[in-house]
Structure 1
Amino acid sequence: MSSIVILSSSVRNGRKSPQVARYTEAPQPASVIIPFLKECKFSNFEGRLTLKKIDGAPMLQFAEEIKKANGVSYVIPEYNGGYPAGLQNAANHFYTQWHSNPVVNATVSTGLFGITQVITSLQFTLWKIKSWTVPAMFSVPTADKTFDESGHAIEKEATEKRAAAFIPELMWCIEANKRMN
């Protein structure tokens, strides 16, 4: 069975990314782990994991989860046209863990338009860490009105329509990646 890491990448109070991560979790044709970046307690970037001694168990556990995963789904909030510094920090700490991993992106915003801007700024980083960017994307505008606290869609039909290709395309890329390696 394949495994997917759904990374909830917001660390701010009042974040909506966990609800979107929970929504994309169930049900999936793979085992799913949802690390919340806020709980990983990453130190500021001073060098890749391979170049420094790490005392933080959450960071080492996160590295192992990414390394074992067959694919990654980023749940990314938009902050002023960009993605959170914590996600860049996580990308910088690890390098080989991201290589050739198929990656899909769920973008989250409480506004109407921020969701498209974050992908542009993240794409270059994904190329540099050698991730395989899957074209499918799940955009969640007005996330505060789209999901309840448990991650259930309030407007179920519209949300399912936007999410329809998201995980199936990731699963297709995971299977293709397995055949290539």
Structure 2
Amino acid sequence: MALTNMLAIQFTNALVLWFAGFRRTLDDDDVGKLGQIGLFLKRNSAVLIALIVIGGYLSVNFGKTLNEQKFERQSIALVEQSIQNQANYLVSHSFTHEEKNTHTLRVVIQGLITPSQAQAIELEQQIQALAKDTLDDRVIKLQIRFVPEVVIQSAPADESELKLSPDDIKNLQKVAKN
């Protein structure tokens, strides 16, 4: 990055000075063959070529980074979609790169309904299919950590806050009377 900045500053400096009229005096033969613009490009060709090469490399890396971020956003959206009809919510997520082509998506889900292994396998397959469309030859592993949510109140205001079935409430009332 620093090299790119130094080269860009050098080239821009040369360009500004050239436009301002600060040019080397040369023989008329050199100017006639290439012209003023040609001479400028000839003198600065090494810097210009280096900028083009580095710019191309940075552009390719930027494109890969954008694809990875898109994949990560879509993967998290799949996880959230898979738990949207449950009493669960996504607490956190992280992607780790374990090997060159192996990545692990770790999610922490909190709620009332524990996801099954079959649900985890199905979700991992969906994420892997997404990886085939977005990324090249990457194996995606999914790890789900489930944290059960327990609500404890000292004195609930009414029956709806207990979140118990009517039969459970009747049994609790019988125990309280005895």
Q: What TM-score does the superposition give when structure 2 sets the normalisation length?
A: 0.24
Which structure's relative contact order is higher, taking Cα pairs within 8 Å and 6+ residues apart? 1
**Richer in helix (by share):** 2
Q: What TM-score does the superposition give when structure 1 sets the normalisation length?
A: 0.24
Structure (1 or 2) with the larger CA radius of gyration: 2
